Structure 1
Amino acid sequence: MSGSFALVTGLHWGGVLFYVAAAILASSGMIFRKERLERIGMLLGIPGVLVHGAGILVWWRMVGHGPYMDRFEVLSANAWIAAVTFLVFSRVYPKLRSASIVVFPTVFIMIAAGLFFRPEIKKLPPTFRSIWLVLHILFYKISFGAFLIAFAFSVFYLMKKRNRLQRFERLPDLPGIDLLAYRFTGFGFAFWAIGMLAGSIWAYQSWNIFWNWDPVQTWSLVTWVLFGLYLHLRRFFDWQGEKAAWLFIACFMLALMSLYFTPLIESSIHAEYFK
């Protein structure tokens, strides 16, 4: 068993090294206007995802369930989905590559934080053995990946507006940055909603109730409503630019609290994980 732990830890630290190198090279490429460095940095994200993913699979085989019980595996899986989401979209939309300066550091910090929590093997409760739980968690992870990209472009907008990104010539213009933040917020909003719906079905399957105002459920709903308000204000009240960027950042901070802090509340049924 100790050998398996060492393998999981080694694969995760290997992923961290690739992500760190990807962050350094991609960021240097943007700052110093070296397209080749930026391209190499993005390419290094691929072996990072593969090595990191192998670590998750080995851990999955060890514990016998998906990565949604221990803080280490939750953080690792969230980081992996965020990295994959970013790499897939940046392949289709090259303008997204500039978000690597936010995404890759966030990913390797999450993995490192999970490793410092010391991975523990936890038994899966009977109520957690449901495909609806898997879908519930997966959709939230995809949503987080989309929101992380939108967060990067919201920050870019504020910094470029204040002329603090003069060297980042590869960034879109201000309206383009604003639009990317808006679109990825909409993408994340949709998956957050589907994640809540899948979670409600899982709750009914496990406890014969769709909704019981559990702290995690409540704050998840509040977060979704606020993201919906952001989208509503943009669509119907022409909120753009700095106002929209600041509102999104506030919503993103609330999303982090909903995902990583409310599960620590002991009265929550979600307290089975991330503690």
Structure 2
Amino acid sequence: MPVNETLSQYSDWSYTTTVVVYVLAMIFFLVEQAFGKRGVRAAERTRERQLAGVGAGSASTTSSRESGTGASGSTTPPARTRIERIGRMGAALTILGAALHLAAFVLRGLATSRFPMGNMYEYIMAITLVTVIAWLVMMARHPIRHLSAFMLLPVVILMFVGGTMLYAVAAPVQPALQSYWLVIHVSAAAVGSGIFLVPGVASILYLIRSAYDRDPVKFGKLAPKLPSAEVLDRVAYRTTVFAFPVFTFGILCGAVWAEAAWGRFWGWDPKETVAFVAWVIYAAYLHSRATAGWRGTRAATINVVGFAATVFNLFFVNLVSTGLHSYAGVS
């Protein structure tokens, strides 16, 4: 089918705008990280306000008026500081960027009348979208909003590289990828790899925080503003637990597709080999994390190695090595 050039152009504009919005969000988050209170303290203040609201019901009417509480016993929360408002603006920009990001992905598919994962540009678009969505979910559950700049940095770098050096003009997919397995296998691989970026960054920050806890001289300016090592470990573990079975499913589907397309389930192609190595690393992380003697720094180090293997598989294997998975779409 012919490509809809108008929708393709809208997709490119949405993609570029997304990068700009993410960069602006990073600036807001960096301001909050540099000048604001730690996210843990902000969460503690919220809990204190809630407890104060519960206990205000026993106060007298006069005391309620003096303290700013109403007759119902609820208390008026203190005004947010300027830095907190900046952090919330950064979160709002991230949500806006995610919406534009999704629009760019959908418009690309509509423009080409196919599933938009036929080349490296589209694949990176999908991976980074999954990463941002996963981070927004974790940000809503844990006091890690002020760390968003660290998470958005690899997203912006990947999108910049994808939109410049790896950009591919919208076109029909090549015959080798015209299969329903493209939707199943590549989607699972993209979701798993995208979520794996979150525990990778969280584990790096965990190592920084734990090094500071052992020796306050190390990372004296950055580490005190990070959440506790327990929070970072929890974020890394929970996201890995979710991503690992999805990534496993993607590998299994790839083996089934390989048997249908090439007549064998596994051939130690470079892409297959590195994906298997990454799978083994993350399996070792989950095993070590579940074993009391390997929690903490050792487990986080394994997760960082898995993160490095994922990035290596994304770029080096697709762009440098030659194999049956060489579908980068880069001339």
Q: What is the TM-score with the length of structure 2 in the denominator?
A: 0.74
Q: Which residue of 1 aligns with 2:153?
A: 105
1:78 partnered with 2:127 = yes
Within 5 Å, give how 1:1-275 maps onto structure 2: 6-33=9-36, 34-91=83-140, 93-117=141-165, 118-160=167-209, 161-162=211-212, 163=216, 164=219, 171-236=226-291, 238-264=293-319, 267-275=322-330
Query: How far off its partner does 1:274 sit?
Result: 4.7
SS in 2 for 1:238: helix
Aligned pair count reads: 274
Query: How far off its partner does 1:62 sit?
Result: 2.5
> Aligned equivalents of 2:274 and 2:30: distance in 1?
34
Cα deviation 1:17-69 (Å, max 9, x = unaligned): 11111111123223321222212111111111122222222222223322322
Query: How far off its partner does 1:196 sit?
Result: 0.5
Cα deviation 1:62-113 (Å, max 9, x = unaligned): 233223223222222221121122223322x132424412222222222221
Structure 1: gaps of 5 or more residues: none
Q: Tell me the amino acid that sits aligned with residue 258 of structure 2.
A: A
> Aligned equivalents of 2:232 and 2:249: distance in 1?
26
Q: Tell me the amino acid that sits aligned with residue 103 of structure 1.
A: M
Q: Tell me the amino acid that sits aligned with residue 18 of structure 2.
A: G
> Aligned equivalents of 2:269 and 2:171: distance in 1?
22
- Could you tell me the percent identity over the aligned residues? 27
Is contact 1:22-1:42 (8 Å) kept? yes
> Aligned equivalents of 2:329 and 2:288: distance in 1?
34
SS in 2 for 1:226: helix
> Aligned equivalents of 2:162 and 2:328: distance in 1?
13
Which of these two proteins has the greater Rg computed from alpha carbons?
2
Is contact 2:142-2:231 (8 Å) kept? no
Structure 2: gaps of 5 or more residues: 37-82
Say which structure is richer in helix. Answer: 1
Is contact 2:168-2:329 (8 Å) kept? no
SS in 1 for 2:294: coil
